Amino acid sequence: MKKIAVFNPNAGKGINRHQLSALLPALQIAGIEVWMTRSKHDAEQRIREWCVAHPCEEVCFIISGGDGTMHEAVNGAAGHKHAVFASIPAGSGNDFARYFGGFDLNASLPESLEQVQYEWHDVIRYEMNETRTAVSNMGAGFDAEVAYAANHSRIKKFLNKLSIGKAVYVVFLVRLLISFRPYTLELKVNGEKQIYSRVWFMTISNQPYFGGGMKIAPSADTKDGELDITVVHGLSRLKFLLVFGSVFRGTHTKFKEVSVIRSGAVICHSDQDVRVHADGEDNGLLKAGQSLKAAAAPFEIRTVNKLTLDES
């Protein structure tokens, strides 16, 4: 199988920039083509071009970056049935690798990649301004605002260099806790309409983790053909902070203000403009009254089976 390793030098604290040059000869000897992304959207664009040029070729895209780079890769390869994805986690959050597994960027990488097996998983196919795919999760509201503010801040890079990149989220979490305006959300799920008021955020999950290790949807499973929808609503600012803290342990679902719904598809409407993310990447504003449609697309993605690798 053809193997292409895609490195995002901008991800996380920049380990790719520092470690890749030492590993390049080994990757080349192993016949692994290496691309370094040049800008945002470059990975998606180049993968799309490669897939169009090689419609029938089996290929493994080994993505070294964070969830945003994997999101781009999966969307670049959309429709190419012969693609497999592997992760070398190098981002700040790395929720893809936390669930699907990942490889270390070290001298044994080419050898490890020789032994892998693959598994099919569901993805989230969503439609807002265009039709796209999310691998791990997407959401609307407070969390998307925090991610947007953090990713557009100058201090993220600085904190990443100090290996405390996640601290930037705490800074903006506190700031937005004061200014965020909860919204009214209408969901169409399982043939029913449900309305939630004072919504802080809503996530649509394919797998349990989001936001860099928070277990927002503890029961989510990428092979059940269902989306796990979590709505956090009707809370004071103080209680929201308490519930948000409990997400790290996955105990938030005990609160009555946290609704969990499982459905194959969902249509969302908000009463005000609300920010949306997909795999932690900003997806713009869902305008008041605009539809966000999402559905589980069963067994649409093949990822490297890390467990098999560990056992071999």
Ligand X SMILES: Nc1ncnc2c1ncn2[C@@H]1O[C@H](COP(=O)(O)OP(=O)(O)OP(=O)(O)O)[C@@H](O)[C@H]1O
Residues of the shown chain interacting with ligand X in the complex, contacts defined by CB under 6 A? 8-12, 37-40, 42, 65-69, 72, 91-94, 212, 280-281
Residues in the chain: 312
Q: Report the nearest approach of ligand X to the CB of residue 154 (Å).
A: 14
Look at residues 8, 80, 70 and name the one whose alpha carbon lies nearest to residue 40.
8
Phi-psi region of 38 (alpha: psi -120 to 50; beta: other; left: phi over 0): alpha
Tokens 């806790």 label which residue? 177
Query: Which pair of structure tokens corresponds to residue 55?
Result: 């419609």
Find the radius of gyration of the CA atoms of the chain.
Answer: 19
Confirm if 135 and 301 have CB atoms less than 8 A apart.
yes
Look at residues 210, 167, 166 and name the one whose alpha carbon lies nearest to residue 68.
210
Q: Residue 166 or residue 287: which is nearer to ligand X going by CB?
A: 166
Q: Report the nearest approach of ligand X to the CB of residue 228 (Å).
A: 20
Q: Residue 203 or residue 270: which is nearer to ligand X going by CB?
A: 203
* DSSP string for residues in 123-145: EEEEESSSEEEESSEEEEEHHHH
Tell me the β-bridge partners of 293.
127, 267
Query: Which pair of structure tokens corresponds to residue 126?
Result: 């969503």
Tell me the β-bridge partners of 195.
186
Query: Which pair of structure tokens corresponds to residue 280?
Result: 């932690």
Q: Residue 88 or residue 296: which is nearer to ligand X going by CB?
A: 88
Amino acid identity at 154: R
Q: Report the nearest approach of ligand X to the CB of residue 35 (Å).
A: 10
Closest-approach residue to ligand X (CB): 66
Q: Residue 65 or residue 76: which is nearer to ligand X going by CB?
A: 65
Q: Residue 44 or residue 119: which is nearer to ligand X going by CB?
A: 44
Q: Residue 3 or residue 156: which is nearer to ligand X going by CB?
A: 156
Strands 274-278 and 137-141: antiparallel
Q: Report the nearest approach of ligand X to the CB of residue 12 (Å).
A: 4
Q: Residue 39 or residue 312: which is nearer to ligand X going by CB?
A: 39
* Neighbour count for residue 129 (Cβ, 10 Å): 13
